Amino acid sequence: MDLNSHIRYFSSAVANQQSRATFVKNIVTLYQTFNLDGIDIDWEYPGRQGAPGNKWHPSDADNFLLFLQLLRSLLPPTARISAAVDTTTFTASDGKPMTDVSKFGQLLDWVLIMNYDVWGCK
Amino acid sequence: MPPYAAATVLFSLLGFVLSLSPFYLGDFQSKQHSGRQAEREGNPFQTPDKTGNVLLAVPERNQAFLPVEAGSVPPPIDPAPATENSSAPYVAIPPSERLVMAYYPDWVGGTFPPEKIDFKRFDWIDFAFAVPDASYGLTWDDAKNAPDLLRRLVVEAHANGAKVKLSLGGWTGSK
């Protein structure tokens, strides 16, 4: 087993235009290969490390938005996109919770609030 | 307690939270969704089509749309035509729609295979997890079994009128 297999490379996968294009193309391929109806993003968490070993960057949340815009535009319009989220908004580049996430709202069909994180996990 | 009570309460709350979100104030045309909500609640404004899906009539584009609190009955409106056209624009889900969703993690595959899921209880299943790798591709938490499990899950879900999302990410140590 790959010792690094537990690391979540979300941050680098959404970091720039090229990585986002590759990442989204790979997601769309999986979507089609498995005849899926939607994609759920469970990134714990943009702008913070979350589990030890995870990559992260202060621009994560901004890049995440650009990633979602590209994903939305390349998946079929019937595809649903959801995200599992913290009980605060995504962490902005200043390290604080974002004050306006309405642009995410235009792209996500549902959010799942990980309420259990109030007590544990992070 | 009725079997759906807990989930209904949970998702009513979620629906209420979503209805507060400003982006759900946008306009909607029409959408298809599974008939489970109608089956459970007998919503008179939903009509199953020949594929077993249900068309939910919603306001025309540019028509004022106010989110209704989860569980309330939408006003009667003329049914809109189905939009199976793949070039149709993306249309968000109205906040009044109540759905039951659950994760299906690959680590239960051995003891609880997809064929044992009672799909009457769920509208959507999220398969957990595929994981982004260092080359911006996706790997599986359980590369040996996950692809086969997901394939079987989709076949079973679709045969029973439910839908499947693939969940990307998750938390280390969750298995």
pLDDT tens string A63-94 = 999 999 999 999 999 999 999 988 888 888 88
Query: Is A78 domain-assigned?
Result: yes
Tell me whether residue A44 is one of the annotated catalytic residues.
yes
- Out of A72-81, B16-25, B134-143, give the one with best mean pLDDT: A72-81
Catalytic residue among A24, A39, A43, A44: A44
Judged by a CB distance cut-off of 8 A, whether residue B138 touches chain A is: yes
Residue B19 CB neighbours (<10 A):
17
Reported confidence tier of residue B10, pLDDT bands at 50, 70, 90: very low
Inform me whether the pLDDT recorded for B118 exceeds 60.
yes
- Residue A50: inside a domain: yes
The mean pLDDT value of chain B amounts to 66
Nearest C-alpha in B relative to A49: B171
- Overall average pLDDT of the B89-99 stretch: 78
Q: Please tell me the distance in Å from B73's CA to the nearest CA on chain A.
A: 20
Assigned domain for A3 exists: no
pTM (predicted TM-score): 0.68
* Domain CATH number, residue A96: 3.20.20.80
Q: What is the pLDDT of residue A113?
A: 86
Cβ pair B150:A34 closer than 8 A: yes
Total number of domains in chain A: 1
Is residue B11 within 8 A of residue B70, CB to CB? The reply is: yes
State whether residue A76 sits within 8 Å of chain B by CB.
yes
Which residue in A has a C-alpha nearest to residue B33's C-alpha? A78
- Give the whole-angstrom CA distance, residue B68 versus residue B74: 7
Poorest-confidence range of B7-16, B82-91, B125-134?
B7-16
pLDDT beyond 80 at B17: no
Quick one: pLDDT band at residue A7, thresholds 50, 70, 90? low
Residue A4: inside a domain? no
What domain range is A48 assigned to? 10-118
Compute CA distances B4 → B9, B21, B58, B133, B156, whole Å.
8, 25, 25, 38, 21
- State the pLDDT at residue B87: 65
Q: Does A87 reside within a domain?
A: yes
Across all residues in chain A, what is the average pLDDT? 87
Q: Would A66 be classed as within a structural domain? A: yes
- Is A58 domain-assigned? yes
